[in-house]
Amino acid sequence: MRRLLGFVIGLVVALLLTLFAGENPWHIFLILTKSAFGSMYDLGLTLSYTTPLIFCGLSVAIAFHAGLFNIGAEGQLTMAVVTAAAVGVLFPEVPFPLAPLVGFSAALLVGAFWGWIAGWLRAYRGSHEVIITIMLNFIAAGLASWFTLKVIPNPHSQNPETALVSANYMFKDYDLIARLFPDTPANASLGFAIVFALLMWIFLWKTTWGFELRAVGSNPEAAHRAGISEKKMQMLAMALAGALAGCVALSEVLGSAGQYRMGFSPDYGFIGIAVALLANNNPLGIIAAAFLMGALHKGASDLDLETSTITRDFSRIIQALIILGVAAQGYWEWMKKKKRRKN
Amino acid sequence: MVKSILTALLIVSFHISSYANPLKVGLVLDKGGKDDKSFNSAAYQGASKAEKDLKIDLKYVEATDTNAIENLHRSFARKNFDLIIGIGFAQKDAVKKVAAQFPQVKFAIVDGEVTAPNVRSLLFEEHEGSFLVGALAAMNSKSNSVGFVGGMDIPLIRRFAMGYAAGAKYVNPKINVSENYVGVTGEAWNNPAKAKELALAQYSKGADVIFVAAGASNTGVFDAAEEKKKFAIGVDSNQNWIKPGVILTSMMKAVDVAVYDTIKEAQAGKFTGGIVHFGLKNEGVNYTVDKYNEKLITPDMKKKVEEIKKKIIAGQIQVPDYYKKK
């Protein structure tokens, strides 16, 4: 809540910038809101962007709590989404209630493994997780395109995408959220995302492991002296981060598209960093922050159609200014505290 | 308060100005974007010419991520656009799905085949045009070796390559044709650096003319040709002007004409669904000669290639088609 001020300042500054393009900022704001929430269809699209952003925000946040910076959410989610599609294409006979579960578990495992690699290298080899996760993003993209195009390509299309998973893997008919928002990719995984955020909050603040993880993050030396294994916690945090990013398979493959399409993600993994920052790594705050970012992403998509000078890329400017606003506010509060301490 | 009054005024004035009800046309461009100087540029030029000549209301968007394509078509349809044009094979599924849900809206798609009463598919006979530039490349080649650099490795681009190689071999059966692709994903249309590397490799292996069909990546090949003082052949738009003296000719796909005509017919109320083919016969594909390359194409070359063109149109030369090869 405290961060709302920084958010508003960032948004206002960004909107004022549109004056330079000869637009009315208030008009732009109206377009953004109308396009994000104007109808059930618009809201559905906003929510369909919100869901993967919650997962990625949680992924980045849990690593932050252990003192690690996970830039690899994009690669982790790519691996998981391809895995879910692969399981769905290669094992079409698995019966319904079991099938989505199998697909989802496989995606979680692979996502977790992809995160764990960076955690293990950090814990035992001392390699910096930022560099490792960035490089793993490229490896994931390469592996995914090889697997998609050489092993399970879609025979009916020239697009770079996998074949469709068997219908057993989709939860279409049982999906109440999808029924609310016809014609949009919004689906039940939004519910899963919220539940996972709650679970993560419980894990971090109500369990021993969660405490140990946060202890390693806030003061590794003290944690070490208290007998907490730093290595174990770093690997755990990165594996959990990978699994959370891997949940995107739920919303993308099992919930909506039923396949992996290369280039489906508008950089969810990287916007996830902004989401986590905005929410100060609080799992419940991430739900709200992801919703705001999702709304911004959807809202900006109509700028192309409604104005002649401003395009959808404007959402990136707003995003950047919002993050600057939030960071500036955090800095200002920190300065105030420091001053008070001096007195 | 003042702001909201201003907004109200603005909205009212906007409504008055659009009261004349011009035809509303939405254009969904592919990943290369309207400034790729090639495929998407051609489509954009056709549409903006229509905007000027026919006083239509044109809006265009570029698809940034794969999942956005369907949403873009749907938002145009929901905002009551009259005609929505999708540029590129990647939009086929999206057009098919959205067109079925909005039967009163007219759709057109370039390079994709969708059969629906409200969809017009604009298909080009790329292999025929490629055959001609292949013949020109072989006539111009002194090293007995020519090259092809494709964008994304898909059947559509292999169709260019096959026609090109056949054209080169028609002129000189012993010629060596090398063939490379920039990539396997949509990024391939937008990677001039990689295209340049491939071109440099082909030039150093002896090729002296390279035909490039890679959207915004084309410029990389043109750079390589200029550096090595060899030749390149452009694609989709007439690209001769980009590097005069280096670009031998361009295999033009009249995407601009196709788009313009579709808009014009929609405005006149004569829009029909179905498939429209653009080949050598109706100048839908062609090689280009203008002031930038007239010195490169000798009268002798021109005479020969015109002869080949006539033979293809008359059916005396069968150009192999990658789509029909199974």
Q: How far apart are CA A80 and CA A143, in angstroms?
A: 12
Complex ipTM: 0.81
For residue B129, give the 3-state DSSP assignment: helix
Same domain, B219 and B317: yes
Which pLDDT does position B36 carry in this prediction? 85
Say what the pLDDT of residue B8 is: 54
For B:167-226, CB contacts with A below 8 A are: 184-187
B246 and B272 inside one domain = no
Tell me, yes or no, whether B287 lies in a domain.
Answer: no
Residue B17 has pLDDT above 50, yes or no: no
Report the DSSP beta bridge partners of residue B150: B181, B213
Contact between residue A144 and residue A82 where contact means Cβ atoms under 8 Å apart: yes
Position B132 in a domain:
yes
Same domain membership, residue B134 and residue B116? no
Q: Is the pLDDT of residue A60 over 70?
A: yes
Taken as a whole, chain A contains a residue count of 343
The answer to the question of residue B3 being in a domain is: no
What are the pLDDT digits (tens) for A110-121?
Answer: 999 999 999 999
B96 interaction partners in chain A (CB closer than 8 Å): none
Give the angle subtended at the CA of B42 by the CAs of B36 and B48, to the nearest 5°. 110
Q: How many CB atoms lie within 10 A of CB B104?
A: 8
**d(C-alpha A14, C-alpha A57), whole Å:** 23
Residue B108 covered by a domain: yes
What pTM did the predictor assign?
A: 0.86
CATH number at residue B186: 3.40.50.2300
Query: What is the SS3 assignment for B277?
Result: strand
Domain range spanning residue B140?
Answer: 126-253+296-324
Do residues B73 and B28 make contact, with C-beta atoms less than 8 angstroms apart?
Answer: yes
B187 in a structural domain: yes
pLDDT in tens, B203-221: 999 999 999 999 999 999 9
Question: A265 touching B, CB under 8 A?
Answer: yes
pLDDT tier for residue B14 given thresholds of 50, 70 and 90: very low
pLDDT digits (tens, 9 = 90+) for A158-180: 888 999 999 889 876 778 888 88
The answer on pLDDT for A210 being more than 60 is yes
Which one of A30, A149, A264 has the shortest CB-CB distance to B66? A264
Instruction: Check CB contact of B92 with chain A, cutoff 8 Å.
Output: yes
> Residue A178 is encoded by which pair of tokens?
């999808």
DSSP B80: T
Q: Which residues of A touch B186 (CB under 8 A)?
A: 160, 262-263
**Chain A residue with minimal CA distance to B31?**
A263
Q: Are residues B200 and B313 in the same domain?
A: yes
Mark whether B142 and B240 lie in a shared domain. yes
Give the CA count within 13 Å in the CB-facing half-sphere of A255: 30
Task: Note whether B90 contacts A: Cβ–Cβ < 8 A.
Answer: yes
The SS3 call for residue A161 is strand
**CA nearest A161: which of A44, A258, A248?**
A258
Residues 6 or more apart from A186 whose CB is under 8 A from it?
Answer: A44, A45, A47, A48, A51, A177, A178, A180, A256
| Contact assignment for B67 to A183 by CB distance below 8 Å | no
* Structural domains of chain A, ranges and CATH numbers in brackets: 2-12+41-330 (1.10.3470)
Report which of B45, B76, B46, B77 is spatially closest to residue B59, judged by C-alpha positions.
B76
Is B186 close to A157, i.e. CB distance below 8 A?
no
Which chain A positions have a beta carbon within 8 Å of B89's beta carbon? 158-159
**Beta strands B106-110 and B57-62: pairing type?**
unpaired
Residues B172 and B304 in one domain: yes
Q: For position A263, what pLDDT does the model report?
A: 85
Question: What length is written for chain B?
Answer: 326
Residue B35 lies in a domain: yes
> Are residues B157 and B78 part of one domain?
no
Distance, in Å, from the CA atom of A328 to the CA atom of A55, rounded to the nearest integer, reads 26
Query: Angle CA(A79)–CA(A80)–CA(A84) in degrees, nearest 5?
Result: 120
Give B67→chain A minimum CA distance, Å: 5
Q: What is the pLDDT of residues B296-320, one digit of tens each?
A: 999 999 999 999 999 999 999 999 9
What pairing do the DSSP bridges indicate for beta strands B145-152 and B176-183? parallel
What separation in angstroms does the CA of A47 have from each of A83, A297, B72, B152? Answer: 24, 11, 17, 33
Residues of chain B found within 8 Å of residue A264, distances taken between Cβ atoms: 65-67
Cross-chain residue pair B10–A158, CB shorter than 8 Å: no
Question: At residue B261, does pLDDT exceed 60?
Answer: yes
Q: DSSP letter string over A62-101?
A: HHHHTT-----HHHHHHHHHHHHHHHHHH-TTS-TTHHHH
| B56-84 mean pLDDT | 89
From B321, B291, B289, B290, select the one nearest B305 (Cα to Cα). Answer: B289
Task: Tell me how far apart the alpha carbons of residues A201 and A69 are, in angstroms, rounded to a whole number.
Answer: 19
Q: Are residues B118 and B137 in the same domain?
A: no
**pLDDT for residue B169 is more than 50:** yes
Which residues from B are below 8 Å from A160, CB to CB?
Answer: 152, 184-186
Rg from Cα positions in chain B = 21
DSSP of A233-298:
HHHHHHHHHHHHHHTHHIIIIIIIISS-BTT--SSHHHHHHHHHHHTTT-HHHHHHHHHHHHHHHH
Are residues B149 and B225 part of one domain?
A: yes
In sequence order, which residues have a C-beta less than 8 Å from that of residue B118 and are 6 or more positions away? B99, B102, B103, B104, B105, B106, B107, B273
Residue B290 included in any domain? no
The reply to whether residue A24 touches residue B10, judged by beta carbons under 8 angstroms, is yes
Total structural domains in chain B? 2
Chain A CB contacts of B152 under 8 Å are 160
Of A201, A196, A198, A197, the closest CA to residue A214 belongs to A201
Q: Give the mean pLDDT of B255-263.
A: 94
Which DSSP helix (H) or strand (E) runs through B83?
Answer: strand B83-87
Check pLDDT > 60 for residue B11: no
- Measured from the Cβ of residue A108, the count of other Cβ atoms closer than 10 Å reads 21
Q: Which residues of A touch B74 (CB under 8 A)?
A: 41, 183
Q: A158–B67: do the CB atoms touch at under 8 Å? A: no
A:B CB pairs within 8 Å: 71
Mean pLDDT of B49-71: 88
Q: Is residue A170 helix, strand or coil?
A: coil
Are B148 and B211 in contact, with CB atoms under 8 Å apart? yes
Q: B135 and B225: one domain?
A: yes
Please indicate, yes or no, whether residues B220 and B272 belong to a single structural domain of this protein: no
In a shared domain, residues B219 and B170: yes
What pLDDT is attached to residue A158?
82
**A261-298 pLDDT tens trace:** 988 998 899 999 999 988 989 999 999 999 999 999 89
Band (pLDDT 50/70/90 cuts) for residue A1 is low
Q: Which of A24, A25, A70 is nearest to A321 (CA)?
A: A25
281-310 in B: which are within 8 Å (CB) of A?
none
Taking an 8 Å cut-off on Cβ atoms, the answer to whether A304 and B61 are in contact is: yes
Residue B5 lies in a domain: no
